[in-house]
Structure formats: structure tokens, C-alpha cells
Structure 1
Amino acid sequence: MSTSVTALTLGGLDKLPAHARRCVFWEIDPAVAADSREYSDPVFEKEAWLSTVLLEWGSCGQVAAIDDNIAGCALYSPPSAVPRAGLFPTSPVSPDAVLLTTLRAEFPYQDTDVAHQLVQAVVSDLIRRGVRAIESFGLRQDPPSTAMPDLGSLMLMERIAPARLRGNAAQAFECSPESCMIDADFLEEVGFKVVAAHHRFPRLRLELDRDHLWKEDVERALDQLLAAAAQEAPTRVCTF
């Protein structure tokens, strides 16, 4: 399989995976959505948000493809552009960091290295733009429990959980922390460190420096050299 990762562009918004195109978990203030009697088209809302960020800030997404099939995506932006970023118990995001909101490998590519390649692409883009760090609100799964949640936990989840989308098309699609947030264990696996601990929504940070870019460039160069050597290796002819 051949994997490629390319930056999201205004002309390529339709290349986003289906969930990412409709998901407005991060982009719409849940209080605004709850107060709206008729929720507008989430695809339109997402494309409007992406267009604004792309025009005002620059590249804010990476899309992975395997053999021309969309395999996953990553989305990131200044935290000021993300209404939900201020609602977590571990908010706010550090002022020197870009917020990674979405990182998804689509079925059937979850067991490939798509997610890792997306992280590498995000890191490369942001290092070249002089960004000092990436932060993300990770999700930890709650352990099974029969205990009743306390009132504070219920109020927090009411704020974090999105309002139900209205309309026939929207009823079949609903976001949640489980479907729209990045697993905290995966973030730690790729180098993020917890900077604000929480049993459910820790905030994690990845410091960026030129070493990240240097290592990636070296690895890419070695891969290219090995591929070239394999193609140029002489075919041994046995004579008897």
C-alpha cells in the first residue's frame, strides 16, 4: 500500500472523510447550538469554519490517502478559533501553542501507521511556520463504575457534550467526546506530555524544535536511498 499525506486546501475540502466533513464538535459553541431552534447544515458550518481559518491563518489540516482512498485526517488551528477549547476543566491552551483537535484514521486503516504519519505531517508543517508547541485535549475512557456521578461531573458533561443536531439528515449523525476527541494514550505514545492532568480530559503538549524536522528529513532520505539501492541492485545470474 502506498500512503500519501497532503495539506488541506480550499479546493480540497471535499476530500475530508465523511465524519470530519460533518463534525462541528469543536467548531460550534454548544450553547449557541442548543439555543438555536433550527440547526443549520453541519457540512456548511464546517466548510465555512475551515475556509475562514485557511484564509486568515493558513494550513489547518492534513489528509492521508492510501492507494487513492481517503484514510484519515488531522485538523489543527489557533485555540482562539475553537469555541469548545475554553470549556474543558484543563483549559486554557497555552498561548504559544496550536491546538490539535482532530486526528482520525478511517476504517479499514486504523491498524496502519496512518495516524502516526498524520502527526508527522502536522509537526513538519508547524515547525516550518515557527510554532513552538502543539497541545491537545485528550480523552481517557472512564473505568466501569456503578456509582452515581456527582453534580459537578454532570454539569461538566452537559457543557462538553454537543447539542443534538436537528433535521432528518442530522439526526443520523451525532458527535460526542468518544467519537470526536483524540485518545490520550495515543497522544502520549507519539510524544505528547500531560501538562494539565484530569481523569477524563487531560491537556497534553508536544514541544516542537528543529530536531523533529531534522529526524524526519533524515528518515525520509534513508528510505529514498534504500528504495533506490533496491532498484539498482544487479540481478545475479547463475551459470552452471
Structure 2
Amino acid sequence: MSVRIMPLRLEAFEQLPKHARRCVFWELDPATLDAGDYLPDPEFEKEAWLSMVMLEWGSCGQIASKTPAEGSDADEDEPCLGYVLYAPPRAVPRAQRFPTGPVSADAVLLTSMGVEPGQSDGLTHSLISQVVSELVRRGVRALEAFGRTADTAELLDPDTADPELSPAIEALGDCSFDQCMIGADFLLGAGFTVVAPHRYFPRLRLELDKGLGWKAEVEAALERLLKSAQLQEPVGAGAQLRG
């Protein structure tokens, strides 16, 4: 199956999976809600956030779909196979709450991504590659992300949860850190390096300003990862989509 990856347009918002349309884990600060309050329309909040970022900064996402068959309408909306979102850290309220912050001033923050069940690891790496190409074209120096380690499972148990981390991991509706953050292992495999270590939430960085050699280095790393993935059973990237 041939896949195309395109910048996310606001008109394509409805193509995103249900959880991606409703997830506001990164986009809203839980502190803005009073105790006991809930978001009556998280989908509206997410679309409004995307609209704001696109208007003020430009494209902030990539969406993967099946390439239209020959002879079909190229503008016809195909089902989403995967997506990735990113934005300037100033537009991401949750980023201010992590112990490994702040995000570097020269970096864009990778917030969330996911692929439909049954898609290979190759698609997740293709999404990252597309983000890299887009940001380099726009003169961005680095891409950073807050990763989620395997040890974060401890934070789901009230007996082992760290209360000092509650501002960072506080849930918003059905959005929670264990399903709305990208796995640190995946980020490391995609070429990111840890710049702020942490047992649960390290901050990782991918340099994009290595001069003319950056493209060959990134493509070579992705090629090695794709070959490795083909030798293994398909596994998720730590950010599976929910229908």
C-alpha cells in the first residue's frame, strides 16, 4: 500500500482519529479548570488550538493517508493512517509543568503522534522524517520532546505515585500521560538524544542544524531503523491511536 504524508490542514481535522481530535493533554493547562470542572467540548478546544497555532505560526502537524488510486479524485479525503503534532513550546501549556523543562528556546516541541493498529514502524519513522524536512525548510534548529519511560507505570499506582509530578501528569478528561505521550525508547531509536535526564520524563532533542550533512545523517539513521523493524514483529511506538 502506498502512503502519502501531507501537512495537516484545518479542513482535514475530521480525518484525525477520534482520540486525536479530542485529546487536549498538551494543549490545555489543567490549572485553568476549577476542581471538579470538565471540558464540555474537548474537540472544539482542540480545533481552536490548531487554528490558533496555524494562524500564528504555520503548519503544526503531518497526517498520513493512503495514496488515492489512479484516476480517483486526488482531493478526496482518505482515512488517517497516522499523524504527528508539534508546535512552539510557548503554545503548549503542559510543557511548562514538566520537571525537565523548559524546552530550549531554539527548538520546536514534538507533542504527540500515533499510527493506526496494523501499520508498521516504518510509518512512524516516515512521519518523523517528514517533520524534520518541514522544520529544516523553515529554519528551525532542533526538535525536542518529553519522553515517557517504562518506569512511568509506577505513577499509575497511588501507592508509588510521586505527588510532586501531579502538575505535569494531571489528567484532562480521558487524556492522560500514559496514552498521550511518546515513548522515550521510540524517540531514542529515531535519533533523539537525552538532554535532560529523568527517571520518568526525560527531555530529548534532535539537532537539525548540523549543516549540509544533516539530511544524509537523518536518512541513514531512519534507514537503519526501518531495516531493523522489518526483522521484528510490528510493535507500537508508544502512542497507539484509539478509535
Shorter-chain TM range is 0.7 to 0.9
Find out whether 1:121 has 2:130 as its counterpart.
Answer: yes
- The one-letter code of the counterpart of 1:190 is A
Structure whose alpha-carbon radius of gyration is higher: 1
1:104 aligned residue: 114
- Cα deviation for residue 91 of structure 1 reads 0.7
2:42 aligned residue: 42
The size of the alignment, in residue pairs, is: 206
1:195–1:40: structure 2 CA closer, same or farther, 3 Å change rule?
Answer: same
- The one-letter code of the counterpart of 1:200 is Y
Find out whether 1:4 has 2:4 as its counterpart.
Answer: yes
Among candidates 130, 133, 138, match of residue 139 of structure 2: 130
Q: Which runs of structure 2 are paired with 1:1-240 in the superposition (5 Å)?
A: 1-35=1-35, 37-66=37-66, 68-109=78-119, 111-142=120-151, 148-149=159-160, 153-157=162-166, 159-163=168-172, 165=173, 174-209=174-209, 210-213=212-215
Return the alpha-carbon distance in structure 2 between the equivalents of residues 31 and 143 of structure 1. Answer: 22
1:135 and 1:204 in contact (8 A); partners too: yes
Return the alpha-carbon distance in structure 1 between the equivalents of residues 46 and 7 of structure 2. Answer: 17
Return the alpha-carbon distance in structure 2 between the equivalents of residues 10 and 213 of structure 1. Answer: 29
1:161–1:37: structure 2 CA closer, same or farther, 3 Å change rule?
Answer: closer
1:158–1:87: structure 2 CA closer, same or farther, 3 Å change rule?
Answer: closer
- The one-letter code of the counterpart of 2:213 is D
| Of 25-34 and 89-98, the range deviating more from structure 2 | 25-34
1:20–1:141: structure 2 CA closer, same or farther, 3 Å change rule?
Answer: same
The residue matched to 2:150 in structure 1 has which SS? Answer: coil
- Cα deviation for residue 35 of structure 1 reads 4.1
- Gap runs ≥5 in structure 1: 166-173, 219-240
> Percent of pairs identical after alignment?
50
Return the alpha-carbon distance in structure 1 between the equivalents of residues 214 and 81 of structure 2. Answer: 24
The alignment's C-alpha RMSD in Å is 2.4
1:179–1:217: structure 2 CA closer, same or farther, 3 Å change rule?
Answer: closer
The residue matched to 1:113 in structure 2 has which SS? Answer: helix
- The one-letter code of the counterpart of 1:211 is G
Return the alpha-carbon distance in structure 2 between the equivalents of residues 69 and 134 of structure 1. Answer: 27
After superposition, give the CA deviation of every residue in 1:8-37 in whole Å (9 maximum; x if it has no partner): 112211122221111000001011134473
After superposition, give the CA deviation of every residue in 1:200-221 in whole Å (9 maximum; x if it has no partner): 0000000003434456799xxx
1:162–1:61: structure 2 CA closer, same or farther, 3 Å change rule?
Answer: same
1:127 and 1:213 in contact (8 A); partners too: no
1:197–1:13: structure 2 CA closer, same or farther, 3 Å change rule?
Answer: same
- The one-letter code of the counterpart of 1:149 is T
- Gap runs ≥5 in structure 2: 68-77, 221-243
1:36–1:59: structure 2 CA closer, same or farther, 3 Å change rule?
Answer: farther
The residue matched to 1:178 in structure 2 has which SS? Answer: helix
